[in-house]
Amino acid sequence: MSMNQRTRYVLVGGAGVMAVGLAGGLAAWVSSSLPSLALAQERPDELRYVPPEATILSFANVREVMDSDLRRRLREIQPELDGQREFQERTGIDIERDIDYVVGGLVPDGSDDTTGIAILAGRFDTERLEALALQHGGAASDYQGRRLITIGDESAAMAFLESGVIAIGSEALVKRTIDLPSSGGGVDADDSLMGLLRHVDSGSTAWTVGRLDNPGGGEWLPDQVESQVSQVAAFAIGARVNGGVSGRLTAEARDEETGRNLRDLLQGLLALARLQMGSRPELRGLLDSLRLTSAGANVTLAFDLPADAVLELLPDRPDANAANAP
Amino acid sequence: MVDANARPAFGRAALRVFDLGLGQMLWSRRTVFMALIAGGPVLIAALLRALASLPTFDAGAGQIGGRAVSLDGPDIFGLMIWTFYLRFTVPVLGVFYGTALIADEVEDRTITYLFTRPVARGAVLAGKYLAYLACTAVVVLPSVTIVYFLVVPLLGGSIGRNFPALLVDLGLIGAGLAVYGAVFALVGAWFRRSLLTGLVFVFGWEPLVVVLPGYMKYLSVAYYLQGLAPHAMPQGDALSVIQALLTSVQTPLATWVNLAALALIWTVALAAAMRAVERREFVLGQ
Amino acid sequence: MSPPVIAAHGVSKWYGQVIGLNNVTVSIPPGISGLLGPNGAGKSTLLKLVSGQLKPSQGHVQVLGEPIWGNPKAYRRIGYCPDHDGFYERMTGRDWLTALLGLGGFDDDRAARAAARALDTVGLTDAADRKIGGYSKGMRQRIKLAQAIAHDPELLVLDEPLAGLDPLGRRRVIDVIRAWGREGRSVVVSSHVLHEIELMTSNILLLNNGRILAEGNVHQIRDLIDEHPHTVRITADDPRRLARRLLGYSHVIAMQLQDGAVIAQTNRPDVFYTELTALAAGDEVGAVREVTSPDDNLHAVFSYLVNQ
């Protein structure tokens, strides 16, 4: 080797910087990915009651929202939600305290339509709820050892799945929910859908993930926009609610080119929205907080709204300054 | 007496030339120049880091042109990768080193010793080219890595979450050094005023054709590199304008097309450069 | 009769509008051959064509029975020592030789052994691990020769190998070349000093203005040279003392000091060089650094030959 000592030092030095940098970056990347894995482990158990055919799945930690600083600010402005007292008087459920979280799923019903199922976890007075249903023309029966209450013309039903867990949806879907544990499990075993949770930040208060194999309902959009949206294969949105609302929406396009086009489209829409900010000043906080990035076929829109910006967005909100006044 | 058949194979000969040429290249006058242009972004990054540590620094909400701009560390890093490295450092190093692969040996009158050895002249060029790649990579890639760690954590950016983008950036810069180096090795083998030709290509031709409509942009390296850049630029209005200036129109090409185009340019340029060196006479001045 | 080591047929070489070699046809036999001619005669061009660095504009060149241009396989059999002074200055002599031998297909061990042998042959073993940038002019000439002989080639092509050497260095290099010839190998060596060539061989090729003037006729040249005083420029640590000493020789017919160097004219160059070498070996006049010979007198001889 004719390479001299000095040259070797430079090569080793450069390689050393790279090795340390890449090792450090890799360690940081692994540790930042771990919370996502942890989130997967923290999936609510109630996901097993959502049928595996579900294409869209949602979760909301109601208790955390109610305990958040943002909710406290809202409560100062508007001490009580519309109809909250009446709801509590009739059902015995205080939505500020009694509901821990809600899991929901949208399931195709065989035709072009979808039906929904909601699983509520918390503390419920089941007898009072059953009595209320019967009082409004509902019928109670036992199904697979669980109490099933159908309401009205049997299009809606409610079942007490276990202590503190209620399923609400169409009768057929609620019955399917009851059957699930004995017929192969729920959506929590669907890696394709659950895998989308990797786009959701750890500790998110609420999230929704979905696969759009045959997206529809965008007919009201301009043709160009609709054609781009129809190329979205899946999406995930996660948000954390505390002092404000922060999170990100990720769309998985069908291929990289579509991903780029979608990013360009969103960039254009954001630019358009900014142009119109003069007539909608309340949107300034929201638009300023948006950050668009893309990697491969994925396009991500991150947002971080402080409490004030959220309050700005409330329709017909009372004068915040008056509420804060001594 | 000699064994007339004892002659190193092409690859082995290229590695021998690499070994011989690396030290010469690394300690040449150009190294000072390279250290300056690779060290510049590091200094700027350190300055930004120092500014960010000031208590008066208003994190997150910058104002450009009177409009609010949402900008964080990864955005700044992406901007630096594009402006400092991909559009300046990489092509400039390609020009200065690529055109000099053989020209330096001619100027120093050492080419005689290489071209009177029983190795293909193409292997000499290949070895010098490998030395160029190692020499530039060993300075530029650590510079990018250092800038990443200085800039990305600013304004709430995450080193971990953006790490895959760093890998893409490093790969992109490596590809840029390889392709520009091959193109300018060809320019060096073909043209007498190769440095001037190279500079015109980098600072005249490429910036012009990538913004022109039509097919001229396909005759550049920057266009394909641009299509592979992983960073979406910041969304503030003023920065969007900067982005538009720097990246021109969005590329409609898929990643594999950009990669294939770069691979094609690299192969053709390097093969043509080797062929040119094989056929050309290098007459040393008295 | 042995086949020629170099065969050129109708070879011309132009550098743009300038002619370097003009329709040269020549066969150089095995053994030591001298190429004599003034600067610009075409010696270097012919040797570059022979070593495969240049392509003939016209005609063809064969070396050791093979065409040479674009035939790197044949380079393994040739050792070339250029006239110009260009090196990897930051490398040591040993590293440089080892690296070049590696390029010639030697593995590391063989390359190290061959480099050590070549360094010993040219008397640079003590300076082998010093950077070439720190070498004297004579040492640089010798390391150039070392790289030409290190791979043990069949044919040595040496372009002005004695230029700038001190007397002892000249003696050593001449000895190396003569030993090479005694071993039955071939050498083509160029110079513009007849006396230098004579010390190595009597087989001389005269070249002027890109043409071969004569082959092998050394006696006529000898007589002509004797009619034209030979000029020698000597750089030494103590030029005045050296000049005083040289003035004592009867064959020195003129002497002057110029820019710290001694310019001497002699009508017996063979005797002059022998006595100068003896002086340099002793302590009497201090170190003699460099001996060169302006080729004015050779120009005069060649003008005479051409006009005959």
pLDDT at res. B65: 42
Q: Could you tell me if residue A144 is left (phi over 0), alpha (psi between -120 and 50 degrees) or otherwise beta?
A: left
Contact: C96, A2; criterion CB under 8 Å: yes
Contacts of A11 in chain B (CB under 8 A): 134, 138
Q: How many CB atoms lie within 10 A of CB B154?
A: 23
Most A CBs within 10 Å: which of B17, B114, B145, as the mutation test of the A interface? B145
Nearest CA to B170 among B127, B230, B255, B227? B230
User: Looking at the structure, do residues A140 and A221 belong to the same domain, yes or no?
Assistant: no
The minimal CB distance from B4 to the residues C54, C77, C84 is found for C77
> Containing H/E element for B216?
none
Chain B residues bordering chain C (beta-carbon distance below 8 Å): 1-8, 13, 16-17, 19-20, 23-24, 27, 108-110, 112-121, 278-279, 281-284, 286
CA distances from A117 to A59, C134, C254 (A): 12, 87, 119
Most B CBs within 10 Å: which of C103, C107, C158, as the mutation test of the B interface? C103
Band of the pLDDT at A110, cuts 50, 70, 90? low
Collapsing DSSP states into helix, strand and coil, what is residue A56?
Answer: strand
Task: Tell me whether residue B283 is in a domain.
Answer: no
Contact: A14, B141; criterion CB under 8 Å: yes
φ, ψ for residue B69, nearest 5 deg:
-125, 125
Residues of chain C with pLDDT under 70: 1, 216-227, 294-308
Q: Return d(Cα B172, Cα A84) in angstroms, integer.
A: 57
Residue A69 near residue A307 (C-beta atoms within 8 A): yes
Which DSSP symbol is given to C131?
B
Q: How large is the greatest C-alpha to C-alpha distance in chain A, in angstroms?
A: 95
Chains in contact with C, where contact means 3 or more Cβ–Cβ distances below 8 Å, are: A, B
Residue B266 near residue B182 (C-beta atoms within 8 A): yes
End-to-end CA distance of chain C: 33
The yes-or-no verdict on residue B254 having pLDDT over 60 is yes
How many domains, in total, are found in chain B? Answer: 1
Contact: B283, C80; criterion CB under 8 Å: no
Pick the most confident of A92-96, A103-107, C54-58: C54-58
* Residues whose CB is less than 8 angstroms from the CB of residue B275 and which lie 6 or more positions away in sequence, other chains included: B122
Task: Tell me whether residue A173 is in a domain.
Answer: yes
Residue A125 one-letter amino acid: D
Question: Which pair of structure tokens corresponds to residue A145?
Answer: 């050892």
The yes-or-no verdict on residue B4 having pLDDT over 60 is no
Residue A188 near residue A47 (C-beta atoms within 8 A): yes
User: Looking at the structure, do residues A223 and A110 belong to the same domain, yes or no?
Assistant: no
End-to-end CA distance of chain A: 82
Residue C41 near residue C209 (C-beta atoms within 8 A): yes
Q: Return d(Cα B64, Cα A75) in angstroms, integer.
A: 37
The yes-or-no verdict on residue A163 having pLDDT over 80 is yes
Question: Which pair of structure tokens corresponds to residue A185?
Answer: 């499990």
Question: Which pair of structure tokens corresponds to residue C16?
Answer: 């743009």
User: Looking at the structure, do residues A179 and A45 belong to the same domain, yes or no?
Assistant: yes
Range of the domain at A262: 212-326
Most B CBs within 10 Å: which of A265, A284, A291, A304, as the mutation test of the B interface? A291
Q: Return d(Cα C118, Cα C93) in angstroms, integer.
A: 11
Range of the domain at B129: 10-278
Q: Return d(Cα C217, Cα C223) in angstroms, integer.
A: 11
User: Looking at the structure, do residues A129 and A182 belong to the same domain, yes or no?
Assistant: yes
Question: Which pair of structure tokens corresponds to residue B231?
Answer: 């960073």
Chain-centre distance for alpha carbon B63: 32
Collapsing DSSP states into helix, strand and coil, what is residue B166?
Answer: helix
Which DSSP symbol is given to A117?
E
Which DSSP symbol is given to B87?
I
User: Looking at the structure, do residues A136 and A268 belong to the same domain, yes or no?
Assistant: no
pLDDT at res. A33: 66
Q: Return d(Cα C118, Cα C149) in angstroms, integer.
A: 7
The yes-or-no verdict on residue B234 having pLDDT over 60 is no
Contacts of A8 in chain C (CB under 8 A): none
Q: How many CB atoms lie within 10 A of CB C241?
A: 14
Tens of pLDDT, residues B220-231: 999 898 888 765
How many domains, in total, are found in chain A? Answer: 2
Q: Give the chain C residue whose CA is nearest to the CA of B286.
A: C84
Pick the most confident of B26-35, B82-91, B265-274, C233-242: B265-274
Length of chain C equals 308
Chain C residues bordering chain A (beta-carbon distance below 8 Å): 90-91, 95-96, 98-99, 102, 108
Task: Tell me whether residue A128 is in a domain.
Answer: yes
* Opening angle at CA B13, ends B8 and B15, nearest 5: 135
Task: Tell me whether residue B4 is in a domain.
Answer: no
Band of the pLDDT at B212, cuts 50, 70, 90? confident
Contact: C90, A4; criterion CB under 8 Å: yes
Nearest CA to B78 among B41, B115, B27? B41
pLDDT at res. B92: 94
Distance from CA of A310 to the nearest CA of B (A): 17
Task: Tell me whether residue A202 is in a domain.
Answer: no
Question: Which pair of structure tokens corresponds to residue B59?
Answer: 């994190």
Which domains can be identified in chain C, with CATH numbers? 6-222 (3.40.50.300), 229-307 (3.30.70)
Sign for the CA dihedral angle at B25, B29, B33, B36 comes to positive
pLDDT at res. C97: 96
Beta-ladder partners of C11: C24
User: Looking at the structure, do residues A101 and A237 belong to the same domain, yes or no?
Assistant: no
Q: How many CB atoms lie within 10 A of CB B22?
A: 26
Contacts of A15 in chain B (CB under 8 A): 138
Q: Return d(Cα B193, Cα B103) in angstroms, integer.
A: 10
Chain-centre distance for alpha carbon A115: 18
Nearest CA to B189 among B99, B122, B249, B77? B99
Residue B159 one-letter amino acid: I
Contacts of B250 in chain A (CB under 8 A): 260, 264
Range from A262-271, B170-179, B199-208, C95-104 carrying the lowest mean pLDDT = A262-271
Residue C209 near residue C42 (C-beta atoms within 8 A): yes
Tens of pLDDT, residues A7-28: 888 889 999 999 999 999 998 8
User: Looking at the structure, do residues A175 and A56 belong to the same domain, yes or no?
Assistant: yes
The minimal CB distance from B19 to the residues A1, A255, A290 is found for A1
End-to-end CA distance of chain B: 33
User: Looking at the structure, do residues A263 and A183 belong to the same domain, yes or no?
Assistant: no
Task: Tell me whether residue A3 is in a domain.
Answer: no
Nearest CA to C211 among C52, C26, C16? C26
Task: Tell me whether residue A282 is in a domain.
Answer: yes
Q: Return d(Cα A244, Cα A308) in angstroms, integer.
A: 8
Nearest CA to C172 among C268, C281, C79, C255? C281
Last residue of a domain, one of A129, A153, A187: A187
The yes-or-no verdict on residue B140 having pLDDT over 90 is yes
Between helix B163-190 and helix B100-107 the angle, nearest 10°, is 50
pLDDT at res. B237: 43
Distance from CA of A247 to the nearest CA of B (A): 14
pLDDT at res. A322: 43
Q: How large is the greatest C-alpha to C-alpha distance in chain C, in angstroms?
A: 57
Contact: C90, A2; criterion CB under 8 Å: no
Chain-centre distance for alpha carbon C62: 22
Task: Tell me whether residue B285 is in a domain.
Answer: no
Task: Tell me whether residue A196 is in a domain.
Answer: no
Identify each DSSP E strand in B97-214 by its residue range. Answer: none
Task: Tell me whether residue A169 is in a domain.
Answer: yes
Residue C28 one-letter amino acid: I
Question: Which pair of structure tokens corresponds to residue C175?
Answer: 């000895």
Task: Tell me whether residue B105 is in a domain.
Answer: yes
User: Looking at the structure, do residues A240 and A165 belong to the same domain, yes or no?
Assistant: no
Most C CBs within 10 Å: which of B20, B112, B116, as the mutation test of the C interface? B116
The yes-or-no verdict on residue A35 having pLDDT over 80 is no
Q: How many CB atoms lie within 10 A of CB C308?
A: 8
Task: Tell me whether residue B61 is in a domain.
Answer: yes
Share of chain B above pLDDT 70, in %: 83
Q: Return d(Cα A116, Cα A210) in angstroms, integer.
A: 13
